[in-house]
Amino acid sequence: MTHYDDRETRSAAARDDALRAALPRLVAHAKARAPAYAMMLADVDADAVTDRAALAHLPVTRKSALIEAQAAAPPLGGFTTLPLADLPRVFASPGPIHEPQPEGRDPWRFARALHATGLRRGQLLHNCFAYHFTPAGMMLEEGARALGCPVFPAGPGNTESQARAAAHLRPTCYAGTPDFLKSILEAGDALGLDLSSLTLGHVTGGAYLPALRAFYAARGMTVLQSYGTADLGLVAYESEAREGLIVDEDVLLEIVRPGTGDPMPEGEVGEVLVTTFNETYPLIRFATGDLSAVLPGASPCGRSNMRIKGWMGRADQAAKVRGMFVRPEQVAAVMRDHPGLGRARLVIGLAETRDTMVLRVESPVRDASLVESLARSLAGHTRLRGVIDLVEPGALQNDGKVIDDTRPT
């Protein structure tokens, strides 16, 4: 079977119909069962949230808000629909922030991504993600078990022992960070072990660089990547086409202007927001802090859902200037004061010992009054004075960077 299920290849119309039915139910469920969302969405009519445009009017849920809510209302801040006693597991990530394991089979939905990698029933998964504190190990294990696959819970580290175990157990697929698989294979080579059973790899949690791809390809391995978080589970995954990452069928992904909830046009680099249709932990417009962009069209593999380019950096580009923090949302506020302009980038530098700010703005006109207005707006939103530099439309790179701190570290 090429695809995990029929949902992967459904038409855009069928996907839109499913969304129209699922979104109002999700919002109503979150309001009724999760105390944090009962407050955040108190004035929202759930029945009116039927498409992406309506969803874009809802507030963004940021990781910082989860941390604050969990500190004020431990342990989970009111974002789950079940009490702690009814949850299978709870995990902890840096922040600190705590994540619940949702109920049900394959609660983080990694079976779809592992299936796209080529893993099939009965094949052994050598799982090198951690099983303690963070949920990564369980995420991949639950996905493999949903496919009917046994799992060796190897965890990270102990490279030589990993190689010896793989030589004995003969796993088909590795799961772990992109570079650790290379370390295991090289350790096996040095020890004279036969690791030829490892023909597949599913990697995430780090940069999957071209040199690593070439290394695995030279050994005849299929090693594909996915993108997910401890809060959301699987967000998007790579298929055999190797043309971007395909968004999971059980999340809705938006690309927005960093620091805001404003959707950006297809192809523009912005922050990834994800809404997950999870009844236990229904995160709505959750800001990942990661940058990406939508790829046009559908994947050649036949899967029809939205594709993204993958991880393209971090959106949380705050910088301290003259003792005060400047954030992307402040730059976005300046631009909202001046509709009709293009991209903007705040360049922070150093003149001798003094911090400097230059706001570069794409503008079709060169107007002294516009410069003055932008300068006033910048000072009003940041409480700092800066220089305005109007540039030609298209002059700023489409990389999602809103604040460029050029000061020496």
Neighbours of 298 (CB within 10 A): 17
Residues in contact with 150: Cβ distance below 8 Å, sequence separation at least 6, in sequence order: 122, 124, 125, 144
Residue from 327, 387, 318 nearest 357 by CA: 387
Q: Per mean pLDDT, which range of 185-189, 323-327, 368-372 is the poorest?
A: 323-327
pTM metric for this prediction: 0.88
Residue for token pair 């060796």: 152
Report residue 409's pLDDT band, with 50, 70 and 90 as the boundaries. Answer: low
pLDDT at 1 > cutoff 70: no
Sheet holding 200-203, edge to edge: 151-153, 125-127, 173-176, 200-203, 222-229, 233-237, 245-247, 307-308, 294-295
Q: What are 125-154's pLDDT values in tens digits?
A: 999 999 999 999 999 999 999 999 999 999
Q: Residue 131 and residue 112: Cα distance in Å, rounded? A: 21
Cβ-defined contacts of 88-96 (< 8 Å, 24+): 89/135, 89/138, 91/133, 91/134, 91/135, 91/138, 91/230, 92/133, 92/134, 93/133, 93/134, 93/230, 95/63, 95/66, 95/67, 96/67
Cα separation, 105 vs 98, whole angstroms: 21
Distance CA 284, CA 297 (A): 25
Average pLDDT of the chain, as a whole number:
95
Structure tokens at 370: 């516009």
Digit-coded pLDDT (tens) for 60-69: 999 889 999 9
Classify burial at 166, counting beta carbons within 10 Å of its beta carbon; exposed 0-12, middle 13-18, buried 19 or more. Answer: buried
Residue 319 confidence (pLDDT) above 70: yes
- Domains, the chain: 12-314 (3.40.50.12780), 319-405 (3.30.300.30)
Q: How far apart are the C-alpha atoms of 43 and 173, rounded to whole Å?
A: 48
Q: Range with the lowest mean pLDDT among 5-14, 300-309, 316-325?
A: 316-325
Q: CA-to-CA distance for 52 and 36, rounded, in angstroms? A: 22
The count of other CB atoms within 10 Å of the CB of residue 394 is: 10
Cβ partners under 8 Å of residue 334, min gap 6: 344, 359, 374, 377, 378, 381
- The predicted-structure confidence for 224-275, as pLDDT tens digits, reads as follows 999 999 999 999 999 999 999 999 999 999 999 988 899 999 999 999 999 9
pLDDT band at residue 116 under the 50/70/90 scheme = very high
Alpha-carbon distances, residue 8 vs 5, 29, 239, 405 (angstroms): 6, 25, 11, 41
- What span, in angstroms and rounded, lies between the C-alpha atoms of 116 and 317? 34
pLDDT at residue 322 in the model: 87
